[in-house]
Amino acid sequence: MSVVCTFQLVFYENPRGIGSVLTENVGTEGTNNLFLRFQLQLYANGVFRQTEIAVLGKLWRELPGFINPYFP
């Protein structure tokens, strides 16, 4: 059984730039092993730039940028 969920984190670089990070859980393997697909959307001075980063088979606790205070 796999659960697909998407959340969006919006951050501001400067008054002219806005970006968002989209993360989708596309499957699970085991208990804490997630298959994640990252999509970074960045607007820099009105110019849209998109970068996709694929991370497969990584423990979610080991992913950079993920800090969960409830599961140290």
pLDDT in tens, 1-25: 444 444 444 444 443 444 444 444 5
**pTM of the predicted protein model:** 0.19
Q: Contacts for 41-50 with beta carbons within 8 Å, 24 or more apart?
A: 42/13, 42/17, 43/17, 43/18, 43/19, 44/13, 44/16, 44/17, 45/16, 45/17, 46/16
